[in-house]
């Protein structure tokens, strides 16, 4: 009986070990769900949604862009979630473009759409950095993220605070290891997860205005993880909970909604511009006083 019980325990342990090993081996397949297209198909489908190809200075594909006639006042970089492809985010890009007069760029992650490569924390963060660097200079840049894209957005806000004027984060989370542990506790992902996105830690020293949007009935990223990120953020912030919304429903908002959001995001920009104007005016006054004093001394 004792020997039989030992055999059963050993079998259970071995089975559990194999389960954990399988989870470790296949975790990126569980985490990333790209939609793949040929370059020709991706181009056709993207243009049907109003997008044009977005390339960097070397001609390398970065994703898609939506431009409006005339000079854009700002840029918006969309960092989407772990499913689909970049051109499928027209429900974000179109109302943003209408509301903000912005040029909208949607990053295509490695291994998504027609873009070559494989998805991982390293490749996503590196692609996000390259995308930010490829945006037009001389105008404010805002980030819009969905779901897993919260990680790259938080990384950019932390790494390049002067380049990021603000952000909107849909269905966000504070820590991917904590989220994975909550969703699959039997696999102990907090110990074995390879791609450890940590938005709360990356945003710790950031102060840009951020709007956090949580889906009330989110079954993929439970609302508590978005509440934790919002509570931990020390910069200018707003929280909106979309009543009755599921995970994939919170980001579909109207142009009117986006106009109100950009009014919030641009408050800091307006304050900074006012401060800079006052500083310049003060410097002009100082120069005038200095010149007058110099001329007075010369007259004596």
Q: Which domains does the chain have, with CATH numbers?
A: 34-277 (3.40.50.1820)
pLDDT of residue 268: 63
**Tokens standing for 139?**
């105008």
pLDDT of residue 236: 97
pLDDT in tens, the chain (300 residues): 555 554 444 433 333 333 344 444 456 688 999 999 999 999 999 999 999 999 988 888 999 999 877 788 899 999 999 999 999 999 999 999 999 889 999 999 999 999 999 999 999 999 999 999 999 999 999 999 999 999 999 999 999 999 999 999 999 999 999 998 887 665 555 557 789 999 999 999 999 999 999 999 999 999 999 999 999 999 999 999 999 999 999 999 999 999 999 999 998 654 554 344 433 444 443 454 444 444 444 433
pLDDT of residue 182: 83
Cα-Cα-Cα-Cα dihedral sign, residues 45, 49, 50, 51 = negative
- CB atoms closer than 10 angstroms to residue 223: 14
Backbone angles phi, psi at 10, to 5 degrees: -65, -40
Closest by CA position to 150, among listed 132, 168, 123, 166: 168
Q: Which residue has the tokens 């508590």?
A: 224
pLDDT of residue 163: 97
pLDDT of residue 286: 46
- d(CA 299, CA 2) in angstroms, rounded, equals 110
Q: State whether residue 240 is helix, strand or coil.
A: strand
Largest CA distance in the chain: 114
């Amino acid at each position: 009986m004792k020997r039989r019980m030992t055999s059963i325990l050993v079998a259970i342990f071995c089975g559990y070990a194999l389960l954990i090993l399988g989870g470790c081996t296949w975790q990126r397949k569980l985490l990333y769900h790209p939609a793949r297209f040929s370059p020709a198909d991706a181009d056709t489908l993207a243009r049907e949604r109003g997008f044009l190809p977005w390339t960097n200075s070397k001609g390398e594909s970065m994703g898609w862009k939506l431009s409006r006639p005339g000079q854009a006042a700002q840029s918006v970089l969309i960092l989407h979630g772990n499913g689909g492809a970049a051109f499928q985010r027209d429900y974000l890009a179109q109302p943003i473009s209408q509301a903000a007069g912005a040029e909208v760029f949607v990053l295509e992650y490695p291994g998504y759409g027609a873009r070559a490569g494989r998805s991982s924390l390293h490749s996503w963060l590196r692609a996000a950095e390259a995308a930010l660097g490829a945006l037009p200079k001389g105008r404010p840049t805002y980030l819009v993220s969905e779901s897993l894209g919260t990680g790259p957005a938080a990384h950019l806000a932390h790494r390049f605070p002067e380049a990021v004027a603000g952000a909107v984060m849909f269905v966000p989370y504070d820590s991917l290891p904590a989220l994975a542990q909550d969703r699959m506790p039997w696999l102990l992902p907090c110990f074995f997860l390879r791609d450890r996105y940590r938005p709360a830690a990356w945003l710790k020293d950031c102060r840009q205005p951020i709007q956090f949007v949580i889906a009330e009935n989110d079954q993929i990223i439970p609302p508590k993880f978005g509440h934790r990120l919002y509570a931990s953020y020390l910069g200018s912030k707003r929280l909106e909970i979309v009543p009755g919304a599921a995970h994939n429903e919170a980001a579909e908002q109207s142009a009117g909604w986006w106009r109100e959001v950009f009014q919030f995001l641009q408050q800091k920009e307006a304050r900074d511009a006012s401060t800079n104007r006052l500083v310049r005016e003060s410097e002009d006054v100082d120069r005038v006083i200095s010149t007058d004093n110099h001329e007075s001394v010369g007259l004596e």
